[in-house]
Amino acid sequence: MLAGVGIGIAAALGIAAVASLDVFSAGPQYAQVLAATPIKETIKTPRQECRNVTVTHRAPVQDENRIAGSVLGAVAGGVIGHQFGGGRGRDVATVVGALGGGYAGNQVQGAMQNNDVSTSVQQRCKTVYDKSQKMLGYDVTYKIGNQQGKIRMDHDPGTQIPLDKNGQLVLNRA
């Protein structure tokens, strides 16, 4: 009976030794995540921004020297001046009337040309850029045992990254 107990103890110790080899030889099952920094790219998307504005246009001037106004004013002034005085006085009044009328006609035509405007509505556009963020991934700093490493991942790994049976990172999501 003593021999049976001894064989039983030896068998139990052998099984325990084999089982403990598997438990103690296995390394860590997870890498500890020390930091996960998001990597983003700024994207600028162009678009047109337009508005309507009222624009005033001056009509092109046909008579820059205002000759028509001066001539018509001089004729009218001469006719009016001729109505006054007699003899040489009438001649002087005609000349003074023509000079005054010519000047007045010139000024009237200038004022009319300055007021000869039209308005139109024009569309003015400019390019503006809308900004948005695109997530590229995460720069992850991790630790396996006493060794530290860095890797870029397409997702936030959380607090730990699983390891395979060879101690390598398992990077695909389950």
3-state secondary structure of 60: coil
How many distinct structural domains can be found in the chain?
Answer: 2
Task: Note the pLDDT of residue 103.
Answer: 80
94 occurs within a structural domain: yes
- Asked whether 152 and 40 are in contact (CB, 8 A), the reply is no
64 occurs within a structural domain: yes
Residues 43 and 66 in one domain: no
Residue with tokens 């990597």: 39
Structure tokens at 70: 């001066």
User: What is the extent of the structural domain holding 151?
Assistant: 29-47+129-174
Residues 95 and 136 in one domain: no
Task: Note the pLDDT of residue 21.
Answer: 47
Residues 111 and 88 in one domain: yes
Give CA separation, 105 vs 5, 94, 112, 157, 166, in Å: 141, 16, 11, 89, 105
Sequence-ordered list of residues with C-beta below 8 angstroms from that of 47, at least 6 positions apart, any chain: 127, 128, 129, 130
Task: Note the pLDDT of residue 40.
Answer: 96
What's the pTM value of the predicted model, to 2 decimals? 0.44
Tens of pLDDT along the chain (174 residues) come to 555 555 656 555 555 555 554 444 456 799 999 999 999 999 999 999 999 999 988 877 777 776 776 677 667 766 776 787 677 777 777 777 767 766 877 787 677 777 778 888 999 999 999 999 999 999 999 999 999 999 999 999 999 999 999 889 998 865
Residues 82 and 40 in one domain: no
Residues 64 and 107 in one domain: yes
52 occurs within a structural domain: no
Phi-psi region of 80 (alpha: psi -120 to 50; beta: other; left: phi over 0): alpha
Q: Which residues pair with 23 in a beta bridge?
A: none
55 occurs within a structural domain: no
Residue with tokens 């699983």: 162
Q: Which of 93, 115, 137 corresponds to the end of one domain?
A: 115
74 occurs within a structural domain: yes
Residues 137 and 164 in one domain: yes
Give CA separation, 20 vs 17, 23, 98, in Å: 5, 5, 130
